[in-house]
A and B are shown apart, each in its own frame.
Chain A
């Protein structure tokens, strides 16, 4: 799975970091999300899918 993050859309809600802390973090200066790993393992799939589904800004896309 590949994770695509659109930082321009991000509103710094922190939801993705809560859902999948191995994959997402936030920039110190403004809380905008950053990707720690754009191809998470099988084991992390569910958390990343949850992150994408609760992102209020629709800033996270997943592809196969």
Chain B
């Protein structure tokens, strides 16, 4: 079991998690994470409830543990280092273990193959070009998040799932509540409930009138008795949230990071080489690492690693943001360098839960980064970096707004 702190135990030396980023370093992980990484691959942190799970900060140990079948992602198990008192696992298979996780995941993997995502590239290019046309014809300056970063992945995931884009205010607002660290359990449960109800209704409609989308395929499985309708709706919720919030943050935060590194922005704007663009996407995923709340797991058995013994029932926090800045895996890790080979990063996690949408996210980001700066070559920040509202309170990092001019 993860020990619970009693009042007579010394608290000194055990940092709290999550940690704060340093003032003026919006792209770097919290300095305390770096300190812990230097102490050793495994240390301990203290959570909101006083529990003290392991903190795994080095790349090699993070990968080893995330791929270890003795490590569970099941939030309902005692010892799981939960972000709040809610232990609801009503958000698809991301918080389940195999074999149930594998069975459900394989029901939705088909649209995310490399081949199928490549086939979507022209459609994504069209979406990106149309949105840029609108921006160029509209007011200047503009908020890039609202006008571009959020609509691109939202339109794409709506197409793929079969969700009407006209409902985007509804699902974007509820997604925000779910991933905001400061939401109360009640607020989060309410938002999840509304999204689940919405997806359940859509699955019902697809049962009656199926089309070519992923929700129709899930509905067909419901009809065939392979999948309870509620589970189909929960998978829909997971894909809808994961499909737009993450990529949107990479678009806006990536643009801001590039604007702070003008020579790299120029290289990206001027290249015709899809390999350089693809490499830049991998490097930005590594460097920005937006899923900054740490992968969370619990040990099912005793595990010996790096000279330590993790006991069955111990909680584990694996912040891949600092893993992606481990000098043992990346030379000069705190430097953004779109020319480096960063393909082995862990921005999509590792192990059986590694991001299902990664081929789609990569393709969307490749289209965006190779189009936006070329078509808006004078793009610049409209205002000061200090005034940008960063998502320190989100379980996915990014910016709430990005005022840009051209």
Contact = CB atoms under 8 A, between A and B. Distances in A.
B349 interface: yes
Contact of A18 (B66, B109, B114): B114
B343 interface: yes
Given A11-B105, A26-B115, A56 B110 contact: no
Interface string B185-197: 0000000000000
Contacts of B351: 56-57
A42 interface: no
A14 interface: yes
A31 B110 contact: yes
A35 interface: no
Contact of A56 (B109, B343, B354): B354
Nearest to B352: A11
B70 interface: no
Interface in A19-41: 19, 21, 26, 28-32
Interface in B96-131: 102, 105-106, 109-110, 112-115
Contact of A31 (B67, B112, B343): B112
B109 A30 contact: yes
Secondary structure of the A contact surface, majority rule? loop
A30 B359 contact: no
Contacts of B105: 11-12
Given A11-B105, A12-B106, A14-B359, A56 B112 contact: no
A53 B106 contact: no
B358 interface: yes
Contacts of B67: 56-58
Contacts of A57: 67, 351-352, 354
Mostly, the B contact residues are loop
Interface string A48-64: 00100110111000000
A28 B84 CA distance: 39
Interface residues of A, number: 21
Nearest to A31: B109
A45 interface: no
A54 to B, nearest CB: 6
Contacts of A56: 66-67, 348-352, 354
B375 interface: no
B354 A11 contact: yes
A18 B105 CA distance: 20
A12 B113 CA distance: 7
Q: Which of B105, B114, B355: most chain A CB closer than 10 A?
A: B114
B110 A13 contact: no
A13 B358 contact: yes
A32 to B, nearest CB: 8
Contacts of A13: 348, 354-356, 358
Contacts of B355: 13
Closest 4 CB pairs of A and B: A56-B354, A31-B109, A12-B109, A26-B113
Interface of B: 66-67, 102, 105-106, 109-110, 112-115, 343-344, 348-352, 354-356, 358-359
12 contacts: A11-B354, A12-B109, A12-B112, A12-B356, A13-B348, A14-B359, A26-B115, A31-B113, A54-B343, A56-B66, A56-B354, A57-B67
